[in-house]
Amino acid sequence: MTELLYMNDSYMREFNATVTRVDGEKVFLDRTCFYPLGGGLVSDTGVLIRGEDKYPVTFVGKEGGDVYHLTEKHTLKPNDEVVGIIDWKRRYRLMRMHTACHIISAILYKDEGSLITGNKVDIDKSRVDFNLERMDKALMELVIDKTNQVIKRNLPVKIYYLPREDALNIPGIVKLAAKLPPHIKTLRIVEIEGIDIQADGGPHVHNTREIGDVILLKTENKGKNNRRLYFTIKP
Ligand SMILES: [Zn+2]
């Protein structure tokens, strides 16, 4: 199992690791702070360095409990020591987008009773899918307005761990947590004080003010009750 360094520190940009396995362009490490594709978030990119050699990482994914780093034309082999550096500009934007996504989802749930059916957190624009009977642009603009008001409150975003049973007692995260396989005994909790509490595995900013301004880009109807909202962040 690869140790996931970003779970405890979203701001870690650089780390030392050992190559455990190589499968063509896939390089597996014993530890990593690269975020692998999943949970609706795109993956990190960056570089793996061994001595003088630099290998760009174009994609990061999960295979079982292990994380692989996709890199072309590398000569890495098991037991090689490497330094990994993530593309911080990309990652920090992803963190800001991700925390924004949690706030939007929380407001949709609290004010409209909408359940989130999917999301994609990306660099240039992100989207949230949710259930809602009526759909008009004014309502969505109101949701984004409220999101920006929350952001301006400088709320801390806390990350901590709870035993599964305790986490399941928190209203709102029950659904998600109940879907987790029974062998997972401890859950990573992401809490935006007074706004949202989720079992979540992705990187987030420390404080909502880091997000900046959220801007509504587009809304779409995806079938009877399914709605989609695209947003971005500025700067
Ligand atoms: Zn999340």
The pLDDT score that the predictor gives to residue 184 is 81
153 and 45 in a common domain: no
The boundaries of the domain holding residue 47 are: 3-86
Do 176 and 197 lie in one domain? The reply is yes
- What is the count of structural domains for the chain? 2
Q: Which residues of the chain have pLDDT under 70?
A: 174-179
Q: Are residues 139 and 185 in the same domain?
A: yes
Q: Are residues 63 and 157 in the same domain?
A: no
From 55, 86, 117, the end of a domain falls on 86
pLDDT for the residue 177: 52
CATH number at residue 15: 2.40.30.130
Give residue 115's pLDDT. 87
**What's the residue count for the chain?**
235
Q: Is residue 106 domain-shared with residue 81, that is, in the same domain?
A: no
Ligand 1 center–CA 188 separation, angstroms: 11
Q: How far is the CA of 115 from the centre of ligand 1 (A)?
A: 14
* Per-residue pLDDT reduced to its tens digit, 108-167: 999 988 888 889 999 999 999 999 988 788 999 999 999 999 999 999 999 999 998 888
Q: Which residues pair with 22 in a beta bridge?
A: 27
Report pLDDT for 175.
52
Q: Give residue 182's pLDDT.
A: 76
Q: Distance, CA 201 to ligand 1 centroid (Å)?
A: 7
Rounded distance, CA 100 to CA 182, Å? 30
Per-residue tokens: 180: 């987790």
Residues 65, 121: one domain? no
Specify whether 71 is located in the same domain as 95.
no
**How many angstroms does the Cα of residue 191 sit away from the middle of ligand 1?**
10
* Same domain, yes or no: 22 and 71: yes
Model pLDDT, residue 178: 57
Query: Could you identify the residue written with the tokens 């971005």?
Result: 232
Residues 104 and 192 in one domain: yes
Nearest partner of 123 among 101, 142, 149, 151, judged by Cα: 101
In this structure, the answer to whether residues 77 and 116 fall within a common structural domain is no
For residue 227, give both structure tokens. Answer: 């709605």
Query: Are both 157 and 229 inside the same structural domain?
Result: yes
Q: Are 218 and 111 part of one and the same domain?
A: yes
Query: Is-contact 232 127, C-beta < 8 A?
Result: no
pLDDT at 185: 87
- For ligand 1, the distance from its centroid to the CA atom of residue 72, given in whole angstroms, is 30
pTM: predicted TM-score of the whole model, two decimal places:
0.94
Identify whether 235 is preceded by a cis peptide bond (ω within 30 of 0).
yes
Q: Measure 122 CA to ligand 1 centroid, in angstroms.
A: 12
Cα 61 to ligand 1 centroid, rounded to whole Å: 17
Closest CA to 39 of 157, 166, 229, 199: 199
